[in-house]
């Protein structure tokens, strides 16, 4: 399992959205074309490579990824949880270190299902407690969103997919291998190990069972 989060300043959102759309137009892709890891193909490799380069070239874009190396070894019974509980615990571990108490955040989660509202509100509550944000000044909101409407969420999906592909040692898609290689070159990381906690451009956290957080 791999969880990814991309973050950016709100006052740069329109500029970044526009630049991503311009890249899509440059390669004659329709306005409704959704950037997804599973769509990566050799015929569109230049498009996807430019997206990766844009991420690394823009200082306002940041990414953090949490890798669960082997979900078959998870012991949900021991921690009195089901798989959905664990899913949102990982989101908590993914997001908690991103936040600066001097800033405020609007968090959008890719819509997992129609029943996730209660879990999302729980995540919002726990993040606020963790940051002593009782006045709701740091975490403004946490909500589900449709990735088709947020092009930055699509970019997050692309980068997360690449890290997952590398973690699973897959090698059957040449275009995907090229993107993984590009990310390794631009990040200067193997994508196999955790980075320093303070790494802000491309942060990697390889989760271990003894790091589980009870939410």
Instruction: Enumerate residues 6+ apart whose C-beta is below 8 A from 95.
Output: 5, 107, 127
**Mind listing the pLDDT tens digit of every residue in the chain (215 residues)?**
899 999 999 999 999 999 999 999 999 999 999 999 999 999 999 999 999 999 999 999 999 999 998 655 555 455 555 556 677 888 899 999 999 999 999 999 998 766 678 888 888 998 999 889 999 999 999 999 999 999 999 999 999 999 999 999 999 999 999 999 999 999 999 999 999 999 999 999 998 776 444 44
Give one word for 191, left, alpha or beta, with left for phi > 0 and alpha for psi -120 to 50. left
pTM of the model: 0.89
Nearest to 33 by CA among 55, 54, 48, 16: 48
Q: What residue segments make up the domains of the chain, in order of their start?
A: 2-101+147-211
Region of residue 136 (left: phi > 0; alpha: psi -120 to 50; beta: else)? left
Q: Where are the alpha helices (DSSP H) in 60-116?
A: 83-95
């Amino acid at each position: 399992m791999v969880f990814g989060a991309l973050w950016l300043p709100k006052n740069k959102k329109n500029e970044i959205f526009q630049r991503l759309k311009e890249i899509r137009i440059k390669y004659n892709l329709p306005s409704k074309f959704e950037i997804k890891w599973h769509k990566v193909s050799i015929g569109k490799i230049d498009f996807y490579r430019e997206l990766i380069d844009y991420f690394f070239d823009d200082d306002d874009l940041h990414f953090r990824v949490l890798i669960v190396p082997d979900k078959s070894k998870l012991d949900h019974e021991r921690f009195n949880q089901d798989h959905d509980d664990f899913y949102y615990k990982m989101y908590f571990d993914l997001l908690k270190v991103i936040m600066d108490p001097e800033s405020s955040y609007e968090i959008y989660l890719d819509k997992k299902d129609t029943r996730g509202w209660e879990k999302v509100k729980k995540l919002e509550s726990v993040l606020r407690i963790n940051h002593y944000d009782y006045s709701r000044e740091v975490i403004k909101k946490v909500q589900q969103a449709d990735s088709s409407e947020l092009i930055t969420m699509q970019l997050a999906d692309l980068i997360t997919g690449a890290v997952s592909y590398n973690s699973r040692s897959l090698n059957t898609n040449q275009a995907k291998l090229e993107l993984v290689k590009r990310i390794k070159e631009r990040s200067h990381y193997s994508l196999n190990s955790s980075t320093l906690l303070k790494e802000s451009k491309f942060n990697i956290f390889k989760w271990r069972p003894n790091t589980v957080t009870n939410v």
